[in-house]
Amino acid sequence: MAIGKDSINSVIGPGSIFEGKFYIAGSLRIDGKFEGDIKTEDALVIGETGKVKTNISAREVIVSGTLIGNIKAENEVKLEGTGRMLGDITAPYLELQKGVVAKGSITITGGQKKDVRKIVEESFGGIKSLDTKD
């Protein structure tokens, strides 16, 4: 996941505060503070100084700052060493760097469309759900 400066078409800069809905067709970088709703068809980058409180729906997400909220990514999520996160992640691929602090549940789909629980259970040999008591 290489997101260069040329591919970022919207920025909430350091020292800026934005509250509300931000729906964008391109990519977004947040180095300031954001609270509200974000939806992008492309990449979302939370820089080291970024502080974000929202649920994210994006193609790719990079977290180098602080995020409180859930991530649903079409391709990949990368939590960099300076990243701090409180929330759940659902994505085909996840990269964690040394130093990340995070709490939440993670669902890695490996690009599969099928239910992850069913994939693992079928791989094991058709076991009964682990959540039920017999």
Report the range out of 1-10, 38-47, 108-117 with the highest average pLDDT. 38-47
Domain assignment present for residue 88? The answer is: yes
For residue 59, pLDDT beyond 70: yes
For residue 103, pLDDT beyond 70: yes
Domain assignment present for residue 131? The answer is: no
Residue of 71 and 109 predicted with greater confidence: 71
Range of the domain at 99: 8-125
Looking at every residue in the chain, the average pLDDT score rounds to: 88
Domain assignment present for residue 130? The answer is: no
Number of compact structural domains in the chain: 1
d(CA 105, CA 13): 30
pLDDT band at 133 (very low <50, low <70, confident <90, very high): low
The whole-number pLDDT of residue 9 equals 84
Domain assignment present for residue 3? The answer is: no
Domain assignment present for residue 2? The answer is: no
